[in-house]
Amino acid sequence: MCGIVGYTGEKAAAPVLLDGLAKLEYRGYDSAGIAVLEKEGLQVVRRRGKVAELAHTVGHFDLTGTCGIGHTRWATHGRPSEANAHPHASCAGDIAVVHNGIIENFAELREELEGRGHVFRSETDTEVVSHLIEEAYVANPDISLVEALRLACTRLVGSYGLAVTCEREPGVIVVTRQDMPIIIGVASDGAYVASDAIAVIGATRDVVLLADQQYAKLTPEGAEYTDERGRAIEPQLTHISWDVDVAEKGGYPDFMLKEIYEQPRVIRDTLAGRLIGGRLEIDELDMTSEELNLVDRVYVIACGTSYHAGLIAKELIEGWARIPTEVEVASEFRYRNPIITPTTLVVAVSQSGETADTLAAIRDARIKGARVFGITNVLGSPVARESDGVIYTKANKEIAVASTKSFLGQIVSLTLLAMLLAQAKGKLRMNQIRLLFRELADTAEQVEQILADTSDIQKAATACVDATSALFIGRGMGAAIAKEGALKLKEISYLHAEAYAAGEMKHGPIALIEDGFPVIAIATDSPVYDKVVSNLQESKARGACIIVIATEGNEHIRELADYVIYIPKVRDGFSAITATVPLQLLARSIAVMRGCNVDQPRNLAKSVTVE
Ligand code: M6R
């Protein structure tokens, strides 16, 4: 949700912090701030708005200190404003805190602290932490900063990634976490900390992924790690293999477009090494074929785009492995009482691996006895750590708020999982697995073909720019793809869009249609193609502007459609991979023409780490 960064070393801290915040801005972009320890004390600079505005303001200060912390915010408690921007200082102004997460008991803590004379200057939940640290010092004047933080955390209920600096210990930053990521890297020029590896890997690729209730004390010389009782612990280094250039647009006008164009590589990388001697192998799942064979019910739990990947998985798992599969949004699943037995498999899908609802649903499912597989894009993320097995989607860092390449990585991973279950259950023979795998691998080239000529997508986008609403329709796989197309359009272009199973049109949504109303249909070759065409005829008869994603060679559709976007022929099961790509490009083109910031849409953040 929010982004945290910290640095202590031999360089001036402010430019390092601003550079880190710019890389983290996708996590939240309504306000930002830094605190740097100067000779005369802590200097806090905050601004409402983007990191660039903060950088401009920081330019008016002469900050030379070499130790500091920074934050980019997505508002939860308290509106976006300078006063609510982090870092938050103690009453004396000698302690500064940045925080990612939610302190659930902040209201009672605040009342208690105010009762003891603390003066609050913001509406945030975070500010209680700086006052609690201040209190810890009052009660124990000789304790260290890390001990003061440890004492403060004993009072906190909720989730947090915290970084703190204090005038009492110049050059020191202390950090801890509960359910929020904290990544530490020690390089030759100092120690770095961030809520995302992207802000650290420019300095070092060997990082420590702090675990819940662990503490680290960063100094220019390195980092020391302790547990919640203050006992020293040996950190485990994780090597980050993706390139620093994921944080660069690489010549593309925006990250979303860059990431859309990375999709062929994502397909190839996600498939690499999975077919061994004609058999599908996903060792990371840590389940034998015999155990997989026992699975008799699957739940896919996820949010947003990841939920749509789950809808596609349902078609494949039921179609190939014949296992009843339910797909549920995590925020509903966690509050239901789903039927879970020891042979239930729960598949949690999350790009970030830190979505609060998905994590809560995983925990609930495990308590109820389910086996949980995570499908995530982030190494060592909470979803990866808390699942019994994990498949990484190999999309590498995704910066644009709208998920694109991670979605394709999820679909490919879920397709492999469906094949694995079918293999274990003996529903797909080795030659069938080999054929499917080959066709799946071929989609990388087919996506490249789509990306090579986007002129028809551009023309169709022009027809939608001035619309106020749009309808996405499809059947079977197409219905799931339509949902993703509609979500992409509304989140980045602010154009209202709805997705409907095409057969449901005449039960209500058809009333929306008037002259020029955009109806975007997924009408690729499939067993239900003719049915989709009938639904399109109904729309056409009422004046809709028809845009169709069709299989190349289908000239007949031109009679009905105002715009046709052709994609290569693939088996229906793989159509989500190919048909989604033009919908991503369509949404982006419409958003760009409407003057929207496609990478950082209003009100959104990349990871939703609050309920
Ligand atoms: O990180 P996750 O996959 O768990 O995130 C889930 C959703 O928040 C995410 O897919 C969101 O809907 C995206 N903005 C969609 O583009």
SS (H, E, C) 64-89: CCCEEEEEEECCCCCCCCCCCCCCEE
What are the residues facing 73 on neighbouring strands?
A: 31
Strand pairing report for 95-103 and 88-89: antiparallel
Q: Which pair of tokens denotes residue 116?
A: 């003891």
Mutate to test the pocket of ligand 1, among 29, 196, 401, 403 (most ligand atoms within 8 A of CB): 403
Nearest alpha carbon, ligand 1 atom 8: 304
Is any atom of ligand 1 closer than 6 Å to the C-beta of 365? no
Distance in angstroms (rounded) separating the CA atoms of residues 45 and 85: 9
Helices (H), 558-598: 575-593
Helix (H, G, I), strand (E, B) or coil at 438: helix
CA of 598 to the centre of ligand 1 (A): 15
Output b/e per residue, 77-93; b: 16+ Cβ within 10 A: bbeebebbbbbbbbbee
Tell whether ligand 1 has an atom less than 6 A from the beta carbon of residue 403.
yes
Q: What is the mean pLDDT of each run of 10 residues along the chain (611 residues)?
A: 93 96 85 95 94 93 96 83 94 96 94 96 95 95 96 95 97 95 96 94 94 97 97 93 77 95 96 89 87 96 98 97 97 91 96 94 94 93 92 93 97 97 96 96 97 97 95 96 98 96 90 93 95 93 95 95 97 96 98 95 83 74
Question: Which of helix, strand or coil describes residue 410?
Answer: helix
In whole angstroms, give the CA distance from residue 575 to residue 148.
56
Structural domains of the chain in order of their starting residue, each with its CATH number: 3-241 (3.60.20.10), 255-451 (3.40.50.10490), 455-593 (3.40.50.10490)
CA distances from 424 to 289, 336, 381 (A): 5, 30, 28
Q: How far is the C-alpha of 216 from the C-alpha of 208, rounded, in Å?
A: 10
Distance (Å, whole) CA 347 – CA 335: 17
* Ligand 1 binding pocket includes 608 (Cβ within 6 Å): yes
Question: CA 582, CA 588: separation in Å to the nearest integer?
Answer: 10
Ligand 1 atom with minimal separation from the 403 CA: 16
The number of residues making up the chain comes to 611
Q: List active site positions.
A: 2, 606
pLDDT at 5: 97
Strands 518-523 and 469-474: parallel
Burial classification of residue 284, based on how many CB atoms lie within 10 Å of its CB (0-12 exposed, 13-18 middle, 19 or more buried): middle
Backbone φ and ψ of 310, nearest 5° = -65, -40
The alpha carbon of 382 and the centre of ligand 1 are apart by a number of angstroms equal to 15
Structure tokens at 310: 């789950």
Question: Could you tell me if 510 and 543 are in contact, meaning their C-beta atoms sit under 8 angstroms apart?
Answer: no
Residue 320: DSSP 8-state: I
Assigned token pair, 275 = 């077919």
Which residue of 26, 255, 306 sits with most ligand 1 atoms within 8 Å of its CB, as the best mutation to test the pocket? 306
Alpha-carbon gap, residue 143 to 140, rounded angstroms: 6
Could you give the angle at the alpha carbon of 402 between the alpha carbons of 399 and 406, nearest 5°?
A: 70
Neighbours of 45 (CB within 10 A): 24
CA of 432 to the centre of ligand 1 (A): 33
Nearest-10 crossing angle of helices 405-424, 304-316: 30
Determine the residue of 27, 29, 308, 351 to mutate for testing ligand 1's pocket, defined as the one with the most ligand atoms within 8 A of the Cβ atom: 351
Regarding the beta carbon of 554 and ligand 1, being less than 6 Å apart is answered no
Q: Is 126 in the pocket of ligand 1 (CB under 6 A)?
A: no
Q: Atom 9 in ligand 1: which residue has the minimum CA distance?
A: 304
Tell me how far the alpha carbon of residue 519 lies from the centroid of ligand 1, in angstroms. Answer: 25
Using the Cα atoms of residue 48, residue 50, residue 51 and residue 55 in order, give the sign of their dihedral: negative
Q: What is the pLDDT of residue 306?
A: 98
561 burial class (0-12, 13-18, 19+ CB within 10 angstroms)? buried
What pTM, to 2 d.p., does this model score? 0.84
Report the sign of the C-alpha dihedral through residues 481, 485, 491, 494, in that order: negative
Q: DSSP H helical segments within 25-71, as ranges?
A: 51-58
Q: Please choose, from the candidates 399, 396, 440, the residue with its C-alpha nearest in 3D space to the C-alpha of residue 420.
A: 440
Classify residue 228 as exposed, middle or buried by CB count within 10 Å of its CB (0-12, 13-18, 19+).
middle
What tokens were used for 592?
Answer: 């760009």
Ligand 1 touching residue 358 (CB < 6 A): yes
Structure tokens at 198: 């992207």
Helix residue ranges, H only, 273-403:
289-294, 304-316, 330-333, 356-367, 382-386
What atom of ligand 1 comes closest to residue 606's alpha carbon?
Answer: 14
For residue 607, report the distance from its CA to the centre of ligand 1, in Å.
Answer: 7
Cβ atoms of 374 and 380 within 8 Å: the answer is: no
C-alpha 63 to ligand 1 mean position (Å): 37
pLDDT (0 to 100) of residue 607: 80
